[in-house]
């Protein structure tokens, strides 16, 4: 069922959201984008006259209770955003009574789902590859079903609105859907918006299509990079990946981040780009620092001629120009991952140049999709959020969707 046609009057609705928001050392929310992202769905439940049960994970507590990752810390923020009081259930698996007592218009926030290993369904404390691991995995998968069933027992409807975790087959993102029939489960408004944005990129590609992949490592992005080689006209590879490519091409990269076991993978990407007629744009120069620090001394060097004691921390002027040129002429743009250590204010120039070129292309009619926490943080940091077409709340989920993979969180609803 589509959420717009649902009527939640006098019903209990359990909504999986992504409230994995950043907190400061005092447990205060520093960026409430994700809370705001879920509001259309949450407000619809209340406006219809339903009772709302909100569930989410926060961080990686690995199946153990960790007060630093308690969702109790954000109850006031959720209440302020919703404009309604929010009750808190300190044990997500023992909230039946509290859920049963909810009246129309009332809101219950469950404690961090990942305090239970059942949520992720991964064995804890057993080494992978051992016979014990296989047995433990089987056992936890069974317990995962029970956990999902318990969560399902709280409500009449299940709404999946956590795009950021939709690529995971967890109890609350997918398994729970088995306990609701087609008329009582649906995607939330945020999920629908994300799916439409991905469809826009995949099924309605206006060319040239440019993908910008940055971030720290080749290894975590190789799947999507290989996939994109079959789809894009321009592929810009930047950030820490630059140095694995520079080394693979015979360069010296000093102390730069470099995956020595991925040099062949880098060469293969270069070869495949040529075969597919993809314009591969690699960083040719960099801003190197003499320490991994915002206050490091800086100098511009070729990406493949970085002296010992120096490391590439941002894209250099020549690279920025090449990136911007490819981006400016594009009609569809996907950006994931920064071009440098953008967390250091003195090394933001490369990421800023990309963001500005994306904004310019968007002003000229391109559709630009930004995904992944760090690229979104860049766009926010540079004040460009309203100058791009769409900012996704998903990182890994967005990339898997762009790869054409069916996300378990969507499959669970749509079959």
Active-site residue set: 34, 217, 373, 396
Question: Quick check: 118 and 139 in contact, CB under 8 A?
Answer: no
**Of 220 and 284, CB closest to ligand AMP:** 220
Near ligand AMP by CB under 6 A, which window of 16-24, 63-71, 211-219, 270-278?
211-219
Report if residue 355 touches ligand AMP, rule: CB under 6 A.
Answer: no
Structure token digits, residue 241: 């990946």
User: Which residue from 91, 132, 142, 343 is in contact with ligand AMP, where contact means CB under 6 A?
Assistant: 343
Q: How far apart are the first and last CA of the chain?
A: 12
Nearest distance from C-beta of residue 216 to ligand AMP, angstroms: 4
Nearest distance from C-beta of residue 221 to ligand AMP, angstroms: 7
Give backbone dihedrals phi and psi of 285, rounded to 5 degrees, phi first: -135, 170
C-alpha angle 21/159/155, rounded to 5°?
105
**Of 124 and 300, CB closest to ligand AMP:** 300
Near ligand AMP by CB under 6 A, which window of 7-15, 21-29, 187-195, 333-341?
333-341
Nearest distance from C-beta of residue 338 to ligand AMP, angstroms: 5
Residues from 43 through 82 that contact ligand AMP (CB under 6 A): none
Burial of 182 from C-beta contacts in 10 A (0-12 / 13-18 / 19+): exposed
Report if residue 394 touches ligand AMP, rule: CB under 6 A.
Answer: no
**Of 50 and 240, CB closest to ligand AMP:** 240
**Of 293 and 364, CB closest to ligand AMP:** 293
Structure token digits, residue 364: 């000229």
From residue 72, give the alpha-carbon distance in Å to each of 18, 61, 110, 283.
15, 15, 8, 44
- Fill in the DSSP letter of residue 126: S
Say if residue 203 is preceded by a cis peptide, omega within 30 of 0: no
Question: Quick check: 285 and 299 in contact, CB under 8 A?
Answer: no
Structure token digits, residue 372: 């992944």
Report if residue 289 touches ligand AMP, rule: CB under 6 A.
Answer: no
Spatial separation of the C-alpha atoms in residues 58 and 52, rounded to whole Å? 19
Report if residue 304 touches ligand AMP, rule: CB under 6 A.
Answer: no
Near ligand AMP by CB under 6 A, which window of 43-51, 88-96, 175-183, 336-344?
336-344
Task: Tell me, by CB under 6 A, how many residues bind ligand AMP.
Answer: 16
Near ligand AMP by CB under 6 A, which window of 129-137, 145-153, 337-345, 354-362?
337-345
**Of 139 and 343, CB closest to ligand AMP:** 343
Q: Where are the beta strands (DSSP E) in 329-389?
A: 332-336, 367-370
Spatial separation of the C-alpha atoms in residues 133 and 268, rounded to whole Å? 34
Nearest distance from C-beta of residue 113 to ligand AMP, angstroms: 23
User: Which residue from 215, 255, 371, 408 is in contact with ligand AMP, where contact means CB under 6 A?
Assistant: 215
User: Which residue from 251, 338, 371, 396 is in contact with ligand AMP, where contact means CB under 6 A?
Assistant: 338
Residues from 240 through 279 that contact ligand AMP (CB under 6 A): 240, 257
**Can you give the length of the chain in residues?**
415
The count of other CB atoms within 10 Å of the CB of residue 395 is 20
Report if residue 100 touches ligand AMP, rule: CB under 6 A.
Answer: no
Spatial separation of the C-alpha atoms in residues 359 and 379, rounded to whole Å? 10
Helix 189-203 vs helix 33-48: crossing angle, to nearest 10: 120
Q: What residue ranges bind ligand AMP (CB under 6 A)?
A: 215-217, 220, 239-240, 257, 312-313, 337-338, 340-341, 343, 372, 374
């Amino acid at each position: 069922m589509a959420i717009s046609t649902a009527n939640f009057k006098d019903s209990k609705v359990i909504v999986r959201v992504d409230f994995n928001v950043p907190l400061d050392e005092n447990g205060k929310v520093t960026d409430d984008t994700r809370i705001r992202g879920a509001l259309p769905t949450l407000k619809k439940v209340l406006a219809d006259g339903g009772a709302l049960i909100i569930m989410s994970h926060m961080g990686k507590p690995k199946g153990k209770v960790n007060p630093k990752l308690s969702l109790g810390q954000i109850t006031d923020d959720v209440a302020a955003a919703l404009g309604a009081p929010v009750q808190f259930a300190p044990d997500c698996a023992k909230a039946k009574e509290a859920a049963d007592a909810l009246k129309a218009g009332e809101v219950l926030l469950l404690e961090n789902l990942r305090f239970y290993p059942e949520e992720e369904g991964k064995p804890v404390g057993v080494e992978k590859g051992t016979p014990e691991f296989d047995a433990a995995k089987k056992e936890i998968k069974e317990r995962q079903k029970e956990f999902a069933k318990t969560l399902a027992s709280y409500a009449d409807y299940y709404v999946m609105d956590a795009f950021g975790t939709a690529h995971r087959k967890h109890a609350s993102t997918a398994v729970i859907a088995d306990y609701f029939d087609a008329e009582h489960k649906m995607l939330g408004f945020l999920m629908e918006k994300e799916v439409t944005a991905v469809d826009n990129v995949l099924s309605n590609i206006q060319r040239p299509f440019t993908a910008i992949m940055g971030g720290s490592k080749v290894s975590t992005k190789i799947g999507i990079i290989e996939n994109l080689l079959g789809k894009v006209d321009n592929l810009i590879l930047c950030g820490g990946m630059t140095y694995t490519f520079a080394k693979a091409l015979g360069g010296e990269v000093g102390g730069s981040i470099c995956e020595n076991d991925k040099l062949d993978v880098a060469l293969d990407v270069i070869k495949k780009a040529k075969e597919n007629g993809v314009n591969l744009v690699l960083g040719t120069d960099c801003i190197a620092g003499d320490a991994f620090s915002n206050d490091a001394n800086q100098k511009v060097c070729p990406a493949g001629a970085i002296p010992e004691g120096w490391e590439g921390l941002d894209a250099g002027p020549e690279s920025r120009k090449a990136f911007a040129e490819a981006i400016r002429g594009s009609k569809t743009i996907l950006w994931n991952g920064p071009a440098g250590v953008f967390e250091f204010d003195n090394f933001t120039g490369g990421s800023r140049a990309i963001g500005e070129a994306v904004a310019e292309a968007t002003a000229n009619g391109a559709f630009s999709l930004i995904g992944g926490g760090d690229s979104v943080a860049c766009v926010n940091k540079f004040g460009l959020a309203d100058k791009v077409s769409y900012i996704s709340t998903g990182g890994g989920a967005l990339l898997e969707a762009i790869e054409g993979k069916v996300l378990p969180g969507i499959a669970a609803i749509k079959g």
